[in-house]
Structures are given as C-alpha cells and as structure tokens.
C-alpha cells in the first residue's frame, strides 16, 4: 500500500534520490531518467485521454489500463533485481501485461487499412496527443535499453518488451481515433521541394 501523507522530505536537497531498495543515487542517474521518462509518458497519455473525453470509450479504457501498467513498470525499474532478497516482494511487469498490450494492438489494427505512407502527427487533437505520447514512450525505451546495456543495471525482459510495444499501441490508437485512419495526414515525400 502506498501512503503519501508528506509530500516533501528534504532528503533530495543534496541532489540524490532513493530507489525502492533504499539505495540513494544521484538524481540524473540513468535508472532515474528511465522511470522518470515513463512517468512523463504516463502524463502525456493522460493529456491524450483528456482529448478523447466523450470519444472512443474502448481506446480510453485501454489507455487507462496502460497508465496503471506504467506505474507498475516504474515500480519495477525503481527496485532493480540484483539477486538479493528484498524485505518485500517487489512489483514486476509480467508477460501477461505484454500479451494484453499485443492483443489490444492487434484488435485496433484489424480495423485499419494498411498504410502506403508514413503518418504525420495530427488529424484530430486526440491523435496528435497520442503521437506526442508515442514519441515520449520511444525516448523512454531508448533510455531503458541504454540502462539495460550497463553492467549491474538489470532490466527485465518483460519491461523491455512492454516499452517496445507501447509506442506501437500508441501509433495504432492514434490512427483509430483519427476515424480509423480516414483522418490521418500522410507524408508526401518531397512535396515542398
């Protein structure tokens, strides 16, 4: 259970923050950047959901599940599995969460016509907001992959898979809320030469 009754602690005034293990690390540490960018992705999805208000209830419900998953993912990254037995069972992203995300991508994509060009971010406000969330999630993925490549900085396979699928979901969702792709703005190569 999470209890937040005091918002500031002053423990980070020296430029450090605590991982879920209690270990203090510098605030610009790559692990902190990784789950901080996941938090940023979550906020971008929240803004996209505001633009969906009263719109596609199915996509909105999927996005709400993803927002919850992203808190799980942040918690997973906050307690690195270094082979030590923690005082409590840490929250981990599961393969079932990855599988559900893949199933939802497939469900939405089945309704879309194949693309013959790249899609420019835009169309509806909701689609544009989902493209912003998609690009932030790609940045989060790059940081997480960089973290996973470091010695002594474990990242689970499920986290890597989930964050990779997330941008795919956000792309397909953007097309779905753009009238199943009818409102997509397509790239025209060399159009303005």
pLDDT at 3: 65
pLDDT at 21: 85
Give tens-digit pLDDT for 40-76.
Answer: 999 999 999 999 998 899 999 999 999 999 999 999 9
Spatial distance between the Cα atoms of 22 and 82, rounded to a whole number of angstroms: 13
Spatial distance between the Cα atoms of 113 and 145, rounded to a whole number of angstroms: 32
Helix (H, G, I), strand (E, B) or coil at 126: helix
Q: Domain segments of the chain: what residues?
A: 25-81+89-181
Residue of 8, 25, 16 lying closest to 152 (CA atoms): 25
Spatial distance between the Cα atoms of 23 and 81, rounded to a whole number of angstroms: 13
CATH class (in words) of the domain with range 25-81+89-181: mainly alpha
Residue of 123, 103, 141 lying closest to 180 (CA atoms): 123
Q: For residue 90, how far is the Cα from the chain centroid? A: 20
Give tens-digit pLDDT for 157-168.
Answer: 999 999 999 999
* Residue count of the chain: 193
pLDDT at 2: 63
Residue of 32, 112, 46 lying closest to 79 (CA atoms): 32
Name, in order, each residue with C-beta under 8 angstroms of 86's C-beta and a sequence gap of 6 or more. 21, 79
Mean pLDDT of the chain: 94
Q: Are 102 and 69 in contact (CB under 8 A)?
A: no
Spatial distance between the Cα atoms of 125 and 121, rounded to a whole number of angstroms: 10
Residue 31 φ/ψ, nearest 5 degrees: -65, -40
pTM: 0.93
């Amino acid at each position: 259970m999470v209890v937040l009754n005091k918002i500031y602690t002053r423990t980070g005034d020296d430029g450090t923050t605590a991982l879920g293990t209690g270990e203090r690390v510098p605030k610009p540490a790559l692990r902190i950047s990784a789950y901080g960018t996941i938090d940023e992705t979550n906020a971008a999805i929240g803004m996209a959901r505001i633009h969906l208000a009263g719109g596609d209830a199915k996509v909105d419900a999927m996005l709400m599940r993803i927002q919850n998953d992203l808190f799980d993912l942040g918690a997973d990254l906050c307690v690195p599995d270094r082979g030590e037995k923690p005082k409590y069972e840490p929250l981990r992203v599961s393969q079932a969460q990855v599988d559900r995300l893949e199933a939802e991508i497939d469900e939405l994509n089945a309704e879309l016509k194949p693309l013959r060009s790249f899609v420019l971010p835009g169309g509806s406000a909701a689609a544009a907001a989902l493209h912003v969330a998609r690009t932030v999630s790609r940045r989060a993925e790059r940081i997480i992959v960089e973290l996973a490549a470091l010695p002594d900085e474990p990242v689970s396979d499920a986290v890597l898979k989930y964050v990779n699928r997330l941008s795919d979901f956000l792309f397909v969702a953007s097309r779905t809320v753009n009238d199943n792709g009818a409102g997509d703005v397509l790239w025209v190569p060399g159009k303005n030469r």
